[in-house]
Structure 1
Amino acid sequence: MSFLQNNFTLILHLLFLLCFSQSKFATSSMSIHDLLKSKGLPAGLLPKEVKSYNLSDSGLLEVFLDGPCLAKFDTMALYDSVFRANLTYGSLGGVEGFSQQELFVWLPVKGIVVDNPLSGLILFDIGLAHKQLSLSLFEDPPNCKPHGVLRKNGRKEKGFEDQ
């Protein structure tokens, strides 16, 4: 009988540990948009179409999309299929895989900072200059259309090919 009791106790302990580890995993996994908000950044910096992401202990954030896509904020924004940045509270530094259209030129975004959320502003480092935008533009994650195809007035447009 003590053999059965010992095995039963062991099984209960293993089940408890298994349930505890799964519940801990479930609570620690959050959407990329919730992660951004928890780090003092607006959820709408990344599109709804994020497939998955990894965040390393060093703060390297890798976000995966099905493919390159276009979104609209104040201007057009282009996301590569992989977006990378160093995530710290209130900033994304060393950004790769994200560009904004300025006039007719695509400029890579190098960094994104929210110094003071009460200011209502977010700062984009686009290499040549810094651009301040309203945080309200980034409240909700945008829809992202596949790169190369935008619909406007029922007609397909492909970059400069239509101009």
Structure 2
Amino acid sequence: MKFAVRCLTVVTLVLIAGRYNSAQAQKLFFIFAHGQYASPMQASFKHDYDFGLGAEAGVGIGFGSKTFLTGTIGYSVFKAQIKELGNVTFVPMKLGFRRYFLPANLLFIHADAGVAHIKDKTTNATSSRFSGDVGAGIKLGPFEVGVAYDGFAREEAGYASWLAFKAGWRFGL
């Protein structure tokens, strides 16, 4: 059984390397890492939390030179306005798409959806919730700057949402 798994792994890596080698000029794979500042938008979330700070990292796998399937994981902390409320941590894992526009893939739009692990420091409660975002950005060489409307489904009715301002690095392989 272990031999079969190893053989399958080697064959998969050879196929990926061959695909990469034949499409190297198109750069059909990239990794990225962004820092972000989040400004709460939804009324009750905005009333309870001042801002959020966090980071995200992910990969993109291309379907041609303009469209990519992406996978992202992140970590953000939202600062409570009053001490008794407690901070909220947000750890999303999402899949999505990124589409580039203009020559040299200068502008892009993206949409992601997945699940987020939410920890509320007020009650020490943790939960997993639906999370999604949609946004746009600019790629300037290896540097990216973007904005996204992001959030998660709350236990109570509604959606906790924020505007995330992101900046970071993208490396095509």
- Sort the TM-score into its range (normalised by shorter chain): 0.3 to 0.5
Q: Point out the structure with the larger helix share.
A: 1
Larger Rg: 1
Where relative contact order (Cα < 8 A, 6+ residues apart) is larger, the structure is: 2
Q: Point out the structure with the larger strand share.
A: 2
